[in-house]
Amino acid sequence: MRKIGVLTSGGDAPGMNAAIRAIVRTSLNNDIKIIGFRNGYEGLIDNDYVVFDRRLVGNIIQRGGSILHTSRSSRFLHKKYRLIAEDNLRSLGIDGLVIIGGEGSTKGAIALSKISKTKCVVVPATIDKDMPLVGSTIGFDTAINTALTAIDKIRDTATTANVTHIVEVMGRNCGWLGILAGIGAGAEVTIIPEIKINIPKLSQKIKDQLNKGKKGCIIILAEGGFSKGGASLASALKEEGSFDLRITTLGHMQRGGNPSAVDRVLATELGVYAVLSLKDGFSNVIVAKPLASLDKIEFDKVLNTKVKVDMYLHDIIENTA
C-alpha cells in the first residue's frame, strides 16, 4: 500500500474531521502517501484533490463538518462517470480508498469496486445510525446531545407556559435518534417510523398526562414517524384533542457543532483501523465497532440486512413517562 485516498460523502456528520485526521496521520506514520478528494465522489470525477501532510490536519479533531466537504453525487450513479473516477484513481496511483459516509456512500463504494482494482474501505458516519450490524456511527452521539440540549430548553418553556411541544428530530427511515432522544429527554411520547401511530390514542395519552397535572408535554417525532410531517401531526392532534400545541423542527442543527468525546474517539479508532485494514489487504468492508472490539463487515451483508431498533427501549419510554 503506497498511496491512499480519502473522501467524505453524503450527509455530513460531526466527527468526520476526526476520522480524516486519524486516516492521514496513520497513513503517514506507515510511510503511505495520502490525498483527500474534495466534495465526495464528485471530487473523484473532477480529479479535485489535496495532498495531505500532518500540518493540514492539525487542530481539526474538535471541528464539526468536513474539511474535504461532502456531496450527494448524482453523477456517480452513472457508469460513465465512475469510469472517469477510476481513470483518475489509476492515474494518481491510488492503491486504497477510504470512504467516510453512510449507506449511500457504501453503495457508491460497491459500484466503484466493480470496475476498479483500488481497494475500498468504508468508515461509517451518519447521524441517523441507520447502518445495521456496525454499532454506533460517527456523528450519532453528537446529534443526540445536540437534540437533547434543544429539547431541554423547550421543556423549560413548555412547563412554564403549560403548552405541549412536538420536537421533530431526524430519522426518516430509522428511529434510533428519536428513541434515544425520547429516553434522554424524558419525553411523554416518542414517535418513530418503526411503530404506526393512532391519532385518537395518542391524543388521549396526552390528555391523560395533562389531567395528571403535567405542565405541558414533550412529543419527540422522528421525521419518518408521521408521513405528513410534524405540522400535519400538530393539526391532527389539535383537532382531536383541543389542546395547545407548538412544533419545533431541529433540522440540520443536528448535523453541526463540535463532535462529542464519544464521536472523536470512535472516529479516531475507525480511521486508524481503516488504514491498517487497507495495509493488510482488506477491501469491500466497513470498519466497525459493533460491540467492544473492532470488526470488518462485508458491504453486501450490511446492505442486505434490515436495520432494527431495540424495541425494549420504547417500552422504557412508555413505562417512565
Active site residues: 128
Residue 273: partners with Cβ closer than 8 Å, 6 or more residues away: 287, 294
Residue 149: partners with Cβ closer than 8 Å, 6 or more residues away: none
Within 10 angstroms of residue 187's Cβ, the number of other Cβ atoms is 24
Which amino acid makes up residue 231? Answer: A
Residue 271: partners with Cβ closer than 8 Å, 6 or more residues away: 18, 19, 20, 21, 22, 23, 26, 98, 123
Residue reference for cell 396526552: 206
Q: Over 151-183, what HEC string results?
A: HHHHHHHHHHHCCEEEEEECCCCCCHHHHHHHH
CA torsion through residues 104, 310, 154, 138, sign: negative
